């Protein structure tokens, strides 16, 4: 049984269309590469009741939950307080987090607002932030990361080695310029022969050419390779040219 995960993006700026989230994509890729199945992703606004309820729903359902956003020093940064509330604990000022901030700011620059970034739920362990020092934290199976993508990724780099690693997921892509409607029947037949694999069909339009990427994924590498060979043969049999590459290209 693989470990599962949910990603929870917190912030009005995502749902207003102001900010284009990139954390779902990068966190999902990092977890998938480690064999952890990302089962869902959500974006919610800066509303305490919504965040608390969503965290509690997701942490009960999945092995891991990763939140992004809302851990800065301003009034709209309420994630730490919400995680504490979800776990029924209070916030406290973590001495180690204060030390991290003291090392980063000039004397006199560590304002009371910035010290808010040292406040984490009682029982949480810190996740180091090599970019701007204000840490993320882990509370049981919930990891709370910054929203700034560069910082979120640096925090993930610190977290990944601590996670249960799932069976590696192998992927192979067959690319061709036949229409989806032409290959659909044959592709469905391959999927039916390999029920343990996941075969996806993703049309693309690149450099003026319409094509489709047929991606086979699964934990059994030889099955993935066999299914990909069958897909390539099917494409060639329909008069197409099949380009086979490793990964989810």
Q: Tell me which DSSP letter residue 166 carries.
A: P
Q: Which helix (H) or strand (E) holds 96?
A: helix 95-104
**Distance from C-alpha of 193 to C-alpha of 231, rounded to nearest angstrom:** 11
Nearer to its own copies by Cβ, of 128 and 180: the residue is: 180
Tell the smallest beta-carbon distance from residue 47 to its own copies (Å). Answer: 9
Question: Smaller CB distance to its own copies: residue 92 or 114?
Answer: 114
| Nearest distance in Å: CB 123, its own copies | 26
**How many CA within 13 A on the CB side of residue 53?**
7
How far is Cα 69 from Cα 1, in angstroms, rounded to an integer?
30
Q: How far is the CB of 70 from its own copies (least distance, A)?
A: 10
* Smallest distance from its own copies to CB 115, Å: 9
- 50 vs 89, beta carbon nearer its own copies: 50
Q: Give the nearer residue to its own copies in terms of CB position, either 89 or 110.
A: 110
């Amino acid at each position: 049984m693989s470990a599962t995960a949910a990603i929870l993006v917190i912030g009005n700026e995502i749902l207003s269309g102001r900010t284009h989230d990139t954390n779902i994509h990068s966190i999902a890729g990092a977890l998938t590469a480690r064999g952890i199945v990302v089962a869902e992703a959500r974006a919610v606004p800066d509303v305490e009741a919504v965040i608390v309820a969503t965290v509690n729903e997701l942490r009960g359902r999945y092995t891991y939950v990763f939140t992004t956003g809302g851990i800065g020093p301003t009034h709209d940064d309420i994630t730490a307080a919400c995680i504490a509330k979800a776990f029924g604990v209070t916030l406290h000022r973590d001495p180690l987090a204060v030390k991290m901030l003291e090392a980063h700011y000039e004397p006199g620059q560590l304002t009371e607002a910035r010290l808010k970034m040292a406040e984490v739920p009682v029982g949480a362990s810190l996740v180091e932030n090599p970019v701007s020092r204000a840490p993320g934290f882990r509370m049981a199976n919930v990891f709370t990361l910054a929203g700034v993508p560069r910082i979120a990724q640096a925090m993930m780099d610190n977290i990944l080695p601590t996670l249960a690693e799932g069976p590696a997921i192998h992927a192979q892509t067959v690319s061709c310029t036949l229409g989806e409607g032409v290959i659909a029947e044959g592709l469905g037949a391959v999927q039916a022969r390999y029920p343990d694999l996941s075969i996806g069909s993703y049309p693309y339009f690149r450099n003026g050419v319409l094509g489709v990427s047929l991606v086979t994924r699964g934990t059994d590498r030889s099955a993935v390779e066999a299914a990909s060979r069958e897909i390539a043969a099917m494409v060639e049999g329909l008069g197409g040219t099949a380009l086979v590459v490793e990964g989810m290209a």
